[in-house]
Structure 1
């Protein structure tokens, strides 16, 4: 039974951490994409 807990601890934590980081990075990438689009529009309006 202890082997099962060890297996879950060794595999479960990295999986949960990876999913958490991917979700956070996705949000940051969306914000970055929007900012770049707005910057391109602003530069286009200056010309």
Structure 2
């Protein structure tokens, strides 16, 4: 991984390497955020269903 990163920086330049790293990192965080939003959606749906049953 380190060798690939060094090769990428020397070939494409530092700004492009940082951009690619940021996109990969952001992708992981977005996946986690999507999962959290889905869980909240399910919880809200459960609460609404419970309230309608009362």
TM-score class, shorter: 0.7 to 0.9
Give the TM-score normalised by structure 1.
Answer: 0.73
Query: Structure with the greater relative contact order (CA < 8 A, sep ≥ 6): 1 or 2?
Result: 2
Give the TM-score normalised by structure 2.
Answer: 0.64
2:24 corresponding residue in structure 1: 23
2:38 corresponding residue in structure 1: 37
- Write the distance in 1 (CA, Å) between the matches of 2:16 and 2:41: 37
- Write the distance in 2 (CA, Å) between the matches of 1:38 and 1:29: 14
RMSD across aligned positions (CA): 1.6
Q: How does 1:5-24 map to 2 (within 5 A)?
A: 11-24=12-25
- Name structure 2 gaps, 5 residues minimum: 1-8, 49-54
